[in-house]
Structure 1
Amino acid sequence: MKLSKIHHVAYRCKDAKETVEWYVKHLNMDFVLAIAEDLVPSTKAPDPYMHVFLDAGQGNVLAFFELPNSPAMGRDENTPPWVQHIAFEVDSLQTLEEAKQRLLDAGIDVVGPTNHTIFKSIYFFDPNGHRLELAVNTGTPDMYQKLDACKWDMLNEWAQTKRAPKHAAWMHEQELTH
């Protein structure tokens, strides 16, 4: 079996309407579908929900569930807030910089741009507390080839040592010298 693509990725939200309006306004996503049920189709559990779907470009769909009868949303306190995030790709550094300014103008705190060598990105949070990233690719074919050539060696070394392998340390060497 070979997967063809991600059909959709679903997260929980505090308020479906607020969430849809926020993503439409700040990330220019199209609202494409809403589904609401009183019973969960897969389990038949009596748990009313609103399920909304947003177009994240090129067939990618971001979805949210509002669950009014469930306890308030929380997060895994054992996972740092920077780990779990949704990253969206933009087409240029100019687009990234313009998006940052629009978010700042709307009163949204933004971190970055952060230089990851093969891409630059900004980070911010949606109204549900989900961390979001906008990224623009900046790598060269040679950089991607070097990373591809060492990925399995890095993974295998990590599996044995649980220490960061140095195969791709070149990606952050310039940060350490500045």
Structure 2
Amino acid sequence: MRITGLHHVTLITRNLDATTSFYRDLLGLALVEQAANEDDPDARHFWFGDAEGRAGTLLSFLEYPAMPEGSVGVGSTHHLALAVDSSEELDAWRDYLRGRGVQTTDVFERGRFRSLYLRDPDGHILELATRV
């Protein structure tokens, strides 16, 4: 038995339309599935990832418009990191995002990789990081 990788990450959103505009239209992820959540049929559930919807590329969002904001701390997620192929591409992402009014950090030199941070419409922290 062994873990072979990350399958998906699920996040809570207040507004799947804004989430779709951000992850599909701005970041370029494919919207691979739109459905009701199997565990909560009243909640819309969207999946974004690569064009084939392969495990390891998937971000899943459950829509709960009235849910209270979470608090940062033990038991919460700090951020999730999305991979880009090169330092040049990371710099291009920074310029592209800033050109569209998205606030990002400067690029950080991490030794084994470079990265920058931004927030999605619900305030989730995203890191764009070069592949190790």
Give the shorter-chain TM-score range. Answer: 0.7 to 0.9
Residue equivalent to 1:88? 82
State yes or no: 1:130 paired with 2:119. Answer: no
- 1:75 aligned onto 2:70: yes
Instruction: Map Cα deviations across residues 7-34 of structure 1 (whole Å, 9 max, x no partner).
Output: 3210001111210121112211000001
Structure with the greater relative contact order (CA < 8 A, sep ≥ 6): 1 or 2?
A: 2
Paired residues of 1:109 and 1:124 also in contact (CA < 8 A):
yes
Aligned to 1:112: 106
| Structure 2 residue aligned with 1:65 | 62
In structure 1, how many angstroms separate the alpha carbons of the residues matched to 2:44 and 2:6? 21
Moved over 3 A (4+): 56-59
TM normalised by structure 1 equals 0.64
Which structure's residues are more often helix, by fraction?
A: 1
The amino acid of 1:101's aligned partner reads D
Q: What are the within-5 Å matches in structure 2 for residues 133-152 of structure 1?
A: 133-137=127-131
- What is the TM-score of this pair, normalised by structure 2? 0.84
Letter of the 1:89 partner, please give it. Answer: A
Tell me which structure has the larger Cα radius of gyration. 1
Letter in 2 for 1:128: D
Partner of 1:36: 36
Aligned to 1:102: 96
Q: Percent identity?
A: 26
Unaligned runs of 5+ in 1: 139-178
Q: Give the whole-Å Cα distance in 2 for the aligned partners of 1:84 and 1:56.
A: 23
**Matched letter for residue 122 of structure 2:** N
Q: Which runs of 5+ in 2 are unaligned?
A: none
Distance in structure 1 (CA, Å) of the matches to 2:130 and 2:64? 34
Q: CA deviation at 1:5?
A: 3.1
Q: Deviations over 1:87-133 (max 9, x none)?
A: 01110111101110110011111102001111100100000100001
Shift of 1:76: 1.7
